[in-house]
Amino acid sequence: MKVEFESKTINFNVQYGNREKLSIHIDSFGFITVKAPKSTSKEAIMSAIESNVTWILEKIHEIEVAREITKVRGFHVEGKFLHLGKECFLHELIDTSEFDEATLKKNLKRFYINSCKKTVGERIKIYQQQLKVKPKVIEIVESKTKWGSCSSDRKLTFNYRLAMAPIEVIDYVVIHELCHLLHMNHDRSFWRRVGSIMPDYKEKEAYLARHGHSMSF
């Protein structure tokens, strides 16, 4: 959902559940989630967002400023990089002693590739059992346009940058591609199968759409 305010668009997701009160949450990437009781109307949700719009915009601005500072630091000692949805200091991910920037970038990319291979492999083992499918080949690749793909010969590929995403988002991409082993097209049967394993898959899609650009270095 979204609301317009002073030429700015505020995008947010809604989670309905067994709760008494509506609340608004903003994560470290500026991703907005409204948690609301099951019976809450769309009008009530929009009203809550509009009532808190000043706080929301201020919070998002703070996050954007913080992320810009992080970008400036880059490959410095205090530089931070995403791993499984969390910001980590570079030295927590790779050895940073006595390397130039080019070497650090090369080593960090290798770290992400290995991390993605390990994590995706572990998650595939879980979900292929639930879906009763098995890919023929699994590859970790570099891509600027796709998070994952499935070919007609049962080959699955995953973008190494997924290692920067939270584990539940990685799970979504894994489930998505495994479901293509059952339904090659994005028809209703495909999305029903995805939803049967991950009912809130649209939130994960929204996360990638909103934060995909920041999952890089």
What is the per-residue pLDDT across 12-46, written as a single tens digit (0 to 9) for each? Answer: 889 998 889 999 998 766 788 999 999 999 999 99
Model confidence, pTM: 0.69
Domain with residue 140: its CATH number is: 3.30.2010.10
Cα 114 to chain centroid distance, Å, stands at 18
- Which pLDDT value is given to residue 156? 97
* pLDDT tens figures, 73-118: 467 666 789 999 998 999 999 998 888 888 999 999 999 999 999 9
Q: Is residue 186 part of a domain?
A: yes
Q: Are strands 32-37 and 86-89 parallel, antiparallel or unpaired?
A: unpaired
Q: Count Cα neighbours of 195 within 13 Å in the Cβ-side half-sphere.
A: 8
Residues 64 and 121 in one domain: no
- Which pLDDT value is given to residue 42? 92
Residues 127 and 64 in one domain: no
Two tokens, residue 149: 């793909």
Residues 176 and 126 in one domain: yes
* pLDDT tens figures, 49-61: 999 998 998 888 8
51: phi then psi, degrees, rounded to nearest 5 = -70, -25
Q: Is residue 189 part of a domain?
A: yes
Q: Is residue 80 part of a domain?
A: no
Q: Is residue 89 part of a domain?
A: no
Residues 136 and 57 in one domain: no
Q: Is residue 45 part of a domain?
A: yes
Write the secondary structure of the chain as one string of H (helix), E (strand) and C (coil). CEEEECCEEEECEEEEECCCCCEEEECCCCCEEEEEECCCCHHHHHHHHHHCHHHHHHHHHHHHHHHHHHHHHCCCCCCEEEECCEEEEHHHHCCCCCCCHHHHHHHHHHHHHHHHHHHHHHHHHHHHHHHCCCCCEEEEECCCCCCEEECCCCEEEEEHHHHHCCHHHHHHHHHHHHHCCCCCCCCHHHHHHHHHHCCCHHHHHHHHHHHHHHCCC
Residues 68 and 147 in one domain: no
What one-letter code names the amino acid at 73? Answer: R
The pLDDT of 188-203, averaged and rounded, is 94
Residues 111 and 184 in one domain: yes
Two tokens, residue 1: 């959902």
Q: Is residue 84 part of a domain?
A: no
- Which pLDDT value is given to residue 215? 86
Residues 106 and 68 in one domain: no
Q: Is residue 33 part of a domain?
A: yes
Number of domains the chain is built from: 2
Range of the domain at 8: 2-73
- Which pLDDT value is given to residue 166? 95
Q: How confident is the model at residue 11 (pLDDT cuts 50, 70, 90)?
A: confident
Identify the domain boundary among 73, 90, 121.
73
Residues 108 and 208 in one domain: yes
Distance of alpha carbon 216 from alpha carbon 163, whole angstroms: 10
Residues 115 and 185 in one domain: yes
Q: Is residue 118 part of a domain?
A: yes
CB-CB contact of 123 with 174 (8 Å): yes
Residues 63 and 105 in one domain: no
Residues 122 and 186 in one domain: yes
* pLDDT tens figures, 134-150: 999 999 999 888 999 99
Identify the domain boundary among 73, 93, 110.
73
- Which pLDDT value is given to residue 164? 95
- Which pLDDT value is given to residue 67? 63
Residues 157 and 66 in one domain: no
Residue 161 has pLDDT above 80, yes or no: yes
